[in-house]
């Protein structure tokens, strides 16, 4: 095992990798529950059993493939945002687009990814995108993860303003810090306790701080009434394989209905989300220190990601993508594919321990995500803030990810603003900036996306 994953070469060991893998699983496991909210009976209309099976098996198999084939500590699962869009596509069509047709659209987008990866177009992103933007992506994802953590435990809530859609951000009322009502918000109070526990463990440099913090917070949540143990007695410990959505995707309907714009959005958002997550996580894991080697590894990871998209559709779930929560395992010392394999095995085992997985409250995993945000924020020092041509696109990339709730939105704004400012610099100053041809293509795609299809 040490030779296969090259543990010594990466300065790690089996124990560290397994702990990192467990930590990554703990921070990703919420998708097993949340995905049903979007794809299940109250969302896109799929059977709950089918969604849980596809989520657990899809995440498990593709994550294991990532670990064995690429040897990186990156977890894969149905992506947040893309599952919400999947639900929106089905519900907004008033019955015209079925969930089977939507799965067909996801499958086609996976084929598009595969073609872009094999032709090395996706890999060119690593060369085309300026270093400052890539660094900004890492920082922005850190803030994005932080916001996800705060909202998961209700420490930060989206205000509800009369006359607006519930949960929609409103200027001047977008976010509300609920520290003043912790007595009534027990999940927020538990998360704050967990945050302090993990932070204290980090200060004294305890190995496995994130995992220890998650477990401790879950236990503390029992007497507080936040950790619900009912699933241990009422849950189904034997998976139900009688009502699955495996192979039920409808390619004919997807093509017949003409879901080009939907396929385009699936492809576009996944393109940037995956690029940002892979680069951000790889940077934190030290994979990008050797630029050539790092680019090769990311290229292989993109290939697995492309296969994962279509695999997920066949199993019966929305787009499977690299998870930003993988950074939690990286911060625990995960450096190789053994971390990913551990995470993948736990996802497969979750089919048989679903009641146990449901015990861990989001208030226990949220603090780990917030701490990861702190650690990823450290990369901001590597941005050249004295060069406005580089600083402004980096700034937009960083702030728009958490402010708009979309990784792709931040990257899109960064790319477009960089190209525009570079053109101005070339026309009106002596500072001539080389713009990679792929940046031009991406900028045009960004304009088309926002002009005709809106943001994610």
Q: Which of 316, 290, 230 has its CA nearest to residue 10?
A: 290
How far is 49 from 239, CA to CA, in rounded Å?
Answer: 8
Task: Return the structure tokens found at 420.
Answer: 């525009």
Token pair for 85: 């869009």
- Cα dihedral 338→341→346→351 (10° resolution): -170
Question: 64-76: string of b/e by CB count within 10 Å (b at 16+)?
Answer: bbbbbebbbbbbb
Q: Output the pLDDT for position 100.
A: 95
Dist CA 308 CA 106 (whole Å): 11
Give the whole-angstrom CA distance, residue 67 versus residue 324: 16
**What local confidence, expressed as pLDDT, does residue 161 receive?**
47
- Quote the strand ranges of 180-242, DSSP E: none
Q: What angle do CA 163, 168, 172 make, to 5 degrees?
A: 80
How far lies 158's CA from each of 80, 143, 170, 293, in Å? 17, 16, 9, 42
Tens of pLDDT along the chain (456 residues)?
A: 888 999 999 899 999 999 999 999 988 888 887 788 789 888 899 998 899 999 999 999 999 999 999 999 999 999 876 787 788 788 878 888 899 999 999 999 999 889 988 888 877 877 788 889 888 887 888 888 788 788 878 887 655 444 444 344 444 445 555 554 565 688 889 999 999 999 999 999 887 788 788 889 999 999 999 998 887 877 677 877 888 999 999 998 888 776 776 787 677 667 766 777 787 778 777 887 787 788 888 889 989 999 999 999 999 999 898 888 898 899 889 999 999 999 999 999 999 877 776 688 888 888 888 888 888 888 899 899 999 999 999 999 999 988 887 777 888 899 999 999 999 999 999 988 999 998 999 899 888 877 765 554
State the number of CA atoms in the 13 A half-sphere of 281 facing the CB: 32
pLDDT value for 250: 92
- Could you tell me which residues come within 8 angstroms of residue 26 by beta carbon, excluding any fewer than 6 positions away? 210, 211, 214, 328, 360, 365, 368
Tell me if 104 sits within 8 A of 249, measured CB to CB. Answer: yes
Do the beta carbons of residue 288 and residue 297 sit within 8 Å?
no
Helix axes 14-28, 362-377, angle to 10 degrees: 120
Structural domain boundaries in the chain: 2-453
d(CA 193, CA 200): 11
Token pair, residue 153, equals 């435990």
Cβ atoms within 10 Å, residue 96: 10
């Amino acid at each position: 095992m040490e030779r296969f994953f090259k543990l010594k070469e990466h300065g790690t060991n089996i124990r560290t990798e397994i702990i990192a893998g467990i930590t990554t699983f703990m921070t990703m496991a919420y998708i097993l529950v949340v995905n049903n909210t979007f794809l299940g009976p109250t969302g896109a209309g799929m059977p709950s059993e089918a969604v849980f099976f596809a989520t657990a098996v899809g995440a498990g198999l593709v994550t294991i493939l990532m670990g064995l084939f690429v040897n990186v500590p990156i977890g894969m699962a149905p992506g947040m945002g893309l599952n919400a869009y999947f639900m929106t596509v089905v519900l907004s069509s008033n019955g015209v687009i079925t969930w089977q047709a939507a799965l067909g659209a996801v499958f086609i987008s996976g084929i598009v990814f595969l073609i872009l990866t094999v032709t090395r177009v996706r890999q060119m992103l690593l060369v085309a995108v300026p270093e400052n933007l890539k660094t900004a992506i890492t920082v922005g994802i850190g803030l994005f993860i932080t916001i996800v953590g705060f909202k998961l435990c209700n420490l930060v809530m989206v205000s509800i303003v009369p006359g607006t859609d519930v949960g929609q951000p409103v200027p001047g009322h977008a976010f509300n810090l609920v520290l003043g009502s912790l007595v009534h918000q027990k999940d927020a109070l538990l998360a704050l306790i967990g945050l302090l526990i993990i932070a204290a463990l980090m200060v004294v440099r305890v190995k496995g701080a994130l995992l220890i913090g998650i477990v401790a917070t879950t236990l503390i949540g029992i007497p507080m009434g936040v950790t619900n143990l009912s699933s241990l007695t009422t849950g189904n410990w034997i998976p139900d394989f009688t009502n699955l959505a495996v192979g039920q995707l409808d390619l004919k309907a997807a093509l017949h209905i003409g879901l080009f714009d939907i396929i385009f959005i699936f492809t576009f958002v996944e393109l940037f989300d995956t690029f940002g997550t892979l680069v951000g996580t790889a940077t934190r894991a030290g994979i990008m220190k050797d630029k050539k080697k790092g680019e090769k590894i990311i290229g292989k990871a993109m290939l697995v990601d492309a296969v994962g998209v279509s695999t997920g559709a066949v199993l019966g779930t929305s787009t499977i993508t690299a998870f930003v929560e993988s950074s939690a395992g990286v911060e625990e010392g995960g450096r190789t594919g053994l971390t990913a394999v551990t995470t993948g095995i736990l996802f497969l085992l979750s089919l048989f321990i679903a009641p146990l997985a449901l015990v861990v409250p989001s208030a226990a995993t949220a603090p780990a995500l917030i701490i990861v945000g702190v650690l990823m924020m450290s990369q901001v020092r590597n941005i050249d803030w004295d060069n406005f041509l580089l600083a402004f696109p980096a700034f937009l990339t960083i702030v728009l990810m958490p402010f708009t709730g979309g990784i792709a939105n931040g990257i899109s704004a960064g790319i477009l603003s960089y190209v525009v400012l570079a053109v101005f610099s070339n026309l009106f100053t002596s500072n001539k900036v080389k713009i990679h041809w792929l940046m031009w293509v991406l900028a045009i795609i960004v304009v088309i996306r926002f002009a005709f299809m809106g943001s994610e």
